[in-house]
């Protein structure tokens, strides 16, 4: 499957496709932190943090950056800790230089001005100041993680834009993208019909909602 097809669709389109397929992959509450619109997609490199003290802990996020390449997105969870930043400017610079697509945090980042300056895509639950040193510890890299009720495995496809973040299970990538493209084409046809003067009840909107099984 050519992932470049995702250039023409939004996470909202993907969400509609996953609804139709009875899949749940929306990471609610994680938002773009950059001061510009950004869209990224890539295979997941996962990282798990804990606040339980670990002797001789793994270096924070370093292994993830080492494993990742230009086809990857680093996705990390501190189980929703909103007081301690698990990503910042130095890690962003390292990831940017390696060509990594971006970072998704179930948690918070810091140094957002530095991150903006290098145009590194940053999605998180917010921004904080505190360092994770002696507060949070890395448990694993590239093992299964869970954010909210969404299970995320290495190599699952992550897509993120100004609407939000969605996770597509690796075994469903082709099916979801194929349906997403179809949905995006239907939406474009409706917009074209509206711009040509058709009323909303003539534009195909109701047929579209029927297609998605979302019509009241």
For the stretch 35-50, pLDDT in tens is 888 999 999 999 999 9
What does each C-alpha distance from 75 to 19, 46, 92, 213 come to in angstroms? Answer: 23, 5, 13, 31
Q: Are residues 163 and 213 in the same domain?
A: no
18/82 same-domain check: no
Q: Which residues contact 125 (CB under 8 A, 6 or more apart)?
A: 29, 30, 31, 80, 82, 105, 106, 107, 108
Which pLDDT score is estimated for 125?
Answer: 97
The residue segments making up the domain with residue 7 are: 1-23+170-216
Domain shared by 164 and 175, yes or no:
no
User: What share of the chain has pLDDT > 90, as a percent?
Assistant: 76
Looking only at the bridges linking them, the beta strands covering 40-50 and 164-168 are unpaired
Domain count, the chain: 2
CATH, residue 105:
3.50.30.40
Does the global pTM surpass 0.85?
yes
Q: Is the pLDDT of residue 156 over 60?
A: yes
Reference 73, options 28, 34, 103, 113; nearest CA is: 103
pLDDT-based confidence at 66, cuts 50/70/90? very high
Of residues 215 and 10, the one with the higher pLDDT is 10
pLDDT tens sequence across 171-203 = 999 999 999 999 999 888 888 777 777 666 654
Tell whether 154 and 201 lie within a shared domain. no
Q: Is residue 71 located within the same domain as residue 176?
A: no
């Amino acid at each position: 499957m050519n992932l470049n097809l995702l250039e023409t669709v939004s996470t909202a389109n993907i969400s509609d496709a996953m609804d139709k397929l009875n899949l749940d992959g929306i990471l609610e509450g994680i938002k773009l932190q950059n001061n510009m619109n950004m869209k990224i997609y890539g295979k997941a490199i996962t990282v798990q943090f804990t606040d339980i003290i670990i002797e001789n802990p793994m270096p924070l996020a370093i292994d993830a950056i080492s494993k990742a390449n230009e086809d990857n997105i680093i996705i990390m969870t501190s189980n929703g800790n909103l007081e301690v930043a698990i990503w910042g400017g130095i890690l962003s610079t390292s990831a940017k230089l390696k060509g990594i697509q971006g970072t998704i945090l179930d948690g918070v980042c810091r140094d957002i001005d530095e991150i903006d300056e290098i145009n590194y895509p940053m999605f998180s639950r917010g921004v904080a100041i505190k360092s994770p040193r002696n507060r949070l510890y890395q448990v694993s890299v590239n093992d299964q993680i869970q954010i909210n009720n969404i299970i995320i495995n290495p190599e699952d496809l992550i897509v993120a834009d100004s609407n939000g973040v969605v996770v597509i299970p690796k075994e469903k990538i082709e099916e979801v993208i194929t349906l997403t493209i179809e949905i995006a084409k239907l939406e474009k046809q409706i917009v074209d019909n509206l711009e040509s003067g058709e009323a909303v009840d003539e534009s195909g909107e109701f047929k579209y909602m029927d297609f998605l099984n979302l019509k009241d």
